[in-house]
C-alpha cells in the first residue's frame, strides 16, 4: 500500500483518532489533575500511554514504509497493539471514574473537570481501538496473521485478564498467604508468562523456526494452563471466603475469583482451538 492509499484508508484515520484520544486522556492528567499516585492511577496512566506509544510506532512505520527494517511480523504487531489498547482503554474507562470521580475527598471542581475529560476521551479511545480491530480484520482477511485469529485474540485476553488480577490483588491488604493461595498466585504468574511468550513469539515471527512442533506446543500450553487455572478457580474461593478472612477485602477477593473463572473459560476455548489444530486439521492434511 502506497502512502497516498494509506492516507485515504479508514484504518489510518481510525488509528490517528485513537492516538489523539489516548493522548488527551493522559495529557490532561499530566497538565493539572495531580491525583494521588497508586495502583489505580498508575494503571490508567500506563493504559493510555502504552496505547498512545504503540499506536504512534505503528503509524510512523506505516508512513515511513520501513516494515522490512523492523524484525517483527507486521501482519501480527498492529492487530496485537489494537487489541491490547482496546482492552487497556476499556479497563481505564471503568477504573478511572470508579476510583476518582466517585471519591470527592480530594476533588475540587477543576480537578473533577480534568477527570471527566480523561474519562470521556478514554471511552472514545476504546471505541476507536475497537473500530481499528474490526477494520483491520475486514481489510486483511487473506493476509491476516495468527494474532488476528480467534486463538490469537484469546491469548491477548488471557494476558490482559491476568494483569487485572494482579492489579486487584495489589489493592488487597498485605499479609502472609497460606500455601494454597500462594499456589494461586503462582498459577496467575506462570500462565501469564506462558501466554505472553506465545504472543511475543508470533509478534517477533519466531514460530517459523518450529513449523511442525509449534501446534503441539500450543496444545500442551493450553492443557497445562487449563489444569492450573482449574485448580486456582477451586482453591481461591475455598480459602479466601472462609471465616478467617470474611470481613477483609471481600469485594477485591470476589473480583479475583470472577476474573479467575473468566480466564479459565478463555483457556478452555484456547485448548479447544489448539486441540482442533493438532488432532483434526493435521489428520486431514495427512489423509
pLDDT in tens, 153-178: 999 999 999 999 999 998 887 667 78
77, three cell numbers: 504487531
Distance CA 189, CA 220 (A): 17
Count Cβ atoms below 10 Å from residue 271 Cβ, excluding itself.
21
Indicate the DSSP class of residue 31: I
Domain ranges in the chain? 1-148, 150-286
pLDDT tens track for 213-254: 778 888 899 999 999 999 999 999 988 876 555 556 788 899
Residue 26 near residue 89, CB atoms below 8 Å? no
Do 202 and 159 form a contact (C-beta atoms < 8 A)? no
Work out the mean pLDDT of the chain and round it to a whole number. Answer: 86
Distance of alpha carbon 204 from the chain centroid: 18
Do residues 268 and 223 touch, judged by C-beta distance below 8 A?
Answer: no
Alpha carbon distance 144, 74 (integer Å)? 10
Residues 6+ apart with CB under 8 A from 50: 84, 85, 88
For residue 63, is pLDDT > 80?
Answer: yes
CA–CA gap between residue 172 and residue 152 (Å, rounded): 31
Residue 150: which of 158, 182, 128 has the closest Cα? 158
Amino acid at each position: 500500500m502506497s502512502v497516498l492509499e494509506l492516507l485515504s484508508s479508514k484504518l489510518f484515520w481510525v488509528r490517528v483518532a485513537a492516538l489523539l484520544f489516548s493522548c488527551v486522556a493522559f495529557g490532561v492528567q499530566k497538565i493539572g489533575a495531580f491525583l494521588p499516585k497508586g495502583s489505580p492511577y498508575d494503571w490508567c496512566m500506563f493504559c493510555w500511554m502504552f496505547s498512545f506509544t504503540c499506536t504512534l510506532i505503528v503509524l510512523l512505520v506505516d508512513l515511513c514504509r520501513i516494515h522490512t527494517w523492523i524484525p517483527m511480523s507486521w501482519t501480527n504487531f498492529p492487530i496485537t497493539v489494537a487489541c491490547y489498547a482496546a482492552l487497556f482503554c476499556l479497563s481505564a474507562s471503568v477504573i478511572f471514574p470508579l476510583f476518582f470521580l466517585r471519591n470527592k475527598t480530594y476533588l475540587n471542581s477543576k480537578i473533577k473537570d480534568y477527570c471527566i475529560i480523561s474519562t470521556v476521551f478514554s471511552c472514545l479511545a476504546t471505541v476507536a481501538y475497537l473500530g481499528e480491530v474490526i477494520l483491520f480484520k475486514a481489510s486483511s482477511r487473506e493476509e491476516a496473521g495468527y494474532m488476528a485469529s480467534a486463538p490469537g485474540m484469546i491469548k491477548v485476553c488471557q494476558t490482559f485478564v491476568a494483569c487485572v488480577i494482579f492489579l486487584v490483588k495489589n489493592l488487597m491488604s498485605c499479609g502472609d498467604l497460606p500455601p494454597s493461595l500462594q499456589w494461586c498466585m503462582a498459577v496467575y504468574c506462570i500462565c501469564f508468562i506462558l501466554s505472553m511468550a506465545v504472543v511475543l513469539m508470533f509478534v517477533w515471527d519466531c514460530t517459523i523456526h518450529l513449523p511442525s512442533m509449534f501446534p503441539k506446543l500450543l496444545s500442551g500450553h493450553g492443557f497445562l494452563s487449563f489444569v492450573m487455572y482449574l485448580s486456582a478457580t477451586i482453591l481461591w474461593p475455598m480459602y479466601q471466603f472462609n471465616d478467617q478472612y470474611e470481613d477483609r477485602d471481600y469485594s477485591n477477593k470476589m473480583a479475583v475469583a470472577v476474573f479467575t473463572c473468566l480466564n479459565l473459560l478463555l483457556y478452555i476455548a484456547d485448548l479447544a482451538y489448539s486441540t482442533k489444530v493438532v488432532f483434526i486439521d493435521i489428520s486431514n492434511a495427512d489423509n
